[in-house]
Structure 1
Amino acid sequence: MKEKKTIGLCLSGGGALGFAHIGALQALEERNIFPEYISGASFGAIIGALYSYGYNPLEMRYIVQEKKLYNILNIVKPTHLFRSKGFSSNKKVKRVMKEVIPVERFEDLKKKFALSLVDIAIPQWEIVSSGDKLIDSIMASMSIPVVFEPEIDKSRILVDGGVMNNLPVEPLLEKCDRVIGIDVQNIGTTKKVIDKKTLGQRYYGAMMKEMQKHRVSLCDDYIWFPRLEDYTFYDFRHYQKIMDIGYEGTVKYLDELEKKE
């Protein structure tokens, strides 16, 4: 990575598994890898926005703990997927985000930041990277359909960007010499018993894996974490362990990369 001047970082969605992004960022910074352009979907949009605002990974760990972000988001459960409109308002999450990111415009962030969201009325995904609806856009990007209520913008019904673009590398391709994709939702082969708790995750993960194959191929570096298969989208209480998996997995990837170079 040393020969490249401009680095872009794409953070996938994945519910509670998205806490791994914080550990991954910590590992990157320890190797003096500081992305200038950030993109994200769903939970990756939350972490990407915090990083773009100026928080370092250790500060983000503190925010998760101090603001009890893990607890606020812990309302996401498998049983909630059968509610009609949305299990919960995202007001608590939005209040915390406004508190920790006290700016309204994308342009006020310290790093260039973009996120994916979906207008489910069309349906069509889009990238948002400018304007004065930063927090609303973040909320839309993480509004899992039938779990959180969607964000309504006039005739548009905006939901989780991960529904159609869970690894939004597109805004990074023309601006960056090197694109790092961090995917917390990739699934591999498993010999473990697939129970009710993990069936939905593997089903959704399989769809995501097939949907974003071409985006993976656009990444110069693609990092994913097999050890996350011990956890689900809903395991917010295990946020510390998940962050550590992201850190250790990224360290391992970078060590292997250095050996090749």
Structure 2
Amino acid sequence: MKIGIALGSGAARGLAHIGLLKAFEDSKIKPYAITGSSMGALIGGIYASGYPIDKIEEFYLQLDLSVFKRFVDIKVSSAGLIGGEKLEELIASTIKQRNIEELDVKFKCVATDLLTGLEIVFDKGDLVKAIRASISFPAVFVPVYYEKMFLVDGGIKNPVPVNILPEECDIKFAINVGPSVIKEQLVQKYYLDNSFKKYKDTNSLMEKFQSFINGYFKNFVLDDSIKYPSMLETIVQAIAILQENAYINKLKEAKGNVIEVFPDLSNFKLTDFTKAKEIINIGYLEGIKIIKEYLS
């Protein structure tokens, strides 16, 4: 059976992809193809090159401020806070094959052209450059200049790129670790005042913005004391919520037997990299569930 896996964007919640791939490997199941966006591109690309999933897990379990500083080059730039050169060096040190077309597993990842808004699909060429482009979150990473394009995070246009998995896949799994996972929990009981309403997911940007604001009251307003989200949390969460329509549209384009997978990550924020162990474990349990339900 040819198995395709689309690993979605989701920042720290994307660490669940490590656990899911580990569950597959423990069960001697090798994906035929992997596509990825943002964190999904990073983990999926390194794994597709043949780097052991245990080593990927080990790195993130050891991730702390001292490790972070070693691989992040802070820049005083209007284009972004992090240059990305050190991260490229780290990625290059882990992969076995530099070119996408030479990988052990068929692989594609996506980025977004900042100038045109177009989705850019990497299916050949430099794997490191492709991953670096796909993870370039706006205002955090300096965009990647590539073939006269300024490339940023692929999750903006295609958060779970299941539609670009090869058509010959017998079954395709769309692993969504993004905002749809927490959609129902965003606004339940914490409101600024009685004028706020619970909005359903629609195409209205205003309603999405309202839902976003309400969601923060759920996360940060307790006993009438307010803890405001950081600037990074605000940017990350705002973009993540706006990705929901993009996911729905891309899902409609996917052909074949597509299975949506939503690991329960509602207790984790997009910036919770220090909770790698818990997030990876959730991904592992989800992987075992997938295997039992669809691949046994």
Common fold: TM-score over 0.5: yes
* Unmatched tracts of structure 2, length 5 or more: 190-217, 221-227
Write out per-residue CA displacement over residues 138-166 of structure 1, whole angstroms, 9 at most, x where no aligned residue. 10000001110001124210111111111
Q: Which runs of 4+ in 1 moved over 4 A?
A: 65-71, 73-76, 198-202
Which residue of the partner structure matches residue 189 of structure 1?
Answer: 184
Matched-pair contact (CA < 8 Å) for 1:201–1:232: no
Query: Is the 2:64–2:274 Cα contact (8 Å) retained in structure 1?
Result: no
For the pair 1:230 / 2:254, whether they are aligned, the reply is no
Cα contact 2:111–2:155 (8 A) shared by 1: yes
* 1:1-261 alignment runs, 5 A limit: 5-65=1-61, 71-72=67-68, 84-131=78-125, 133-185=126-178, 186=180, 187-190=182-185, 191=188, 193-195=218-220, 196-197=228-229, 203-216=238-251, 218=254, 220-226=258-264, 228-255=265-292, 257=293
Decide whether the 8 Å contact of 1:106 with 1:130 is kept in 2: yes
- Are the counterparts in 1 of residues 49 and 104 from structure 2 also a CA contact under 8 Å? yes
C-alpha spacing 1:67/1:99, structure 2 compared with 1 (3 Å): farther
Of the structure 1 ranges 238-247 and 25-34, higher mean CA displacement relative to structure 2 is found in 25-34
C-alpha offsets along residues 10-46 of structure 1, whole Å, 9 cap, x if unaligned? 1001111111100011222334432111100001001
Q: Distance in 1 between matches of 2:41 and 2:66?
A: 15
- Let me know the Cα RMSD of the aligned residues: 3.0
Once residues 139 and 183 of structure 1 are traced to their aligned partners in structure 2, the CA distance between those partners, rounded to angstroms, is 21
- Cα distance between partner residues in 2 of 1:206 and 1:234: 14
Q: How much has 1:188 moved relative to structure 2?
A: 2.8
Letter in 2 for 1:224: F
TM-score (norm 2): 0.74
Q: Of the two, which has the highest radius of gyration?
A: 2
Distance verdict in 2 for CA 1:165–1:102, change over 3 Å:
same
Structure 1 residues 206 and 174: alpha-carbon distance in aligned structure 2, compared to 1, 3 A threshold: same
Q: How many residues align?
A: 248
Compared with structure 1, are the counterparts of its residues 69 and 159 closer, same or farther at alpha carbon in structure 2 (3 Å cutoff)?
farther
- Contact 1:181 / 1:221 at 8 angstroms: preserved in 2? yes
- Does the CA-based 8 Å contact 2:33-2:105 persist in structure 1? yes
Q: Which amino acid counterpart does residue 243 of structure 2 have in structure 1? A: M
Does the 8 Å CA contact 1:39/1:169 hold for their aligned counterparts? yes
Q: Which moved more, 1:100-109 or 1:198-207?
A: 198-207
Q: Secondary structure at the match of 1:147?
A: strand
Q: What amino acid sits opposite 1:93 in the alignment?
A: L
Contact 2:71 2:87 in 1 (8 A): no
The structure-2 alpha-carbon separation of the partners of 1:19 and 1:170, relative to structure 1 and needing over 3 Å to count, comes to same
Preserved CA contact (<8 Å) 1:72 1:92: no
Partner Cα separation in structure 1 for residue 87 and residue 36 of structure 2? 17
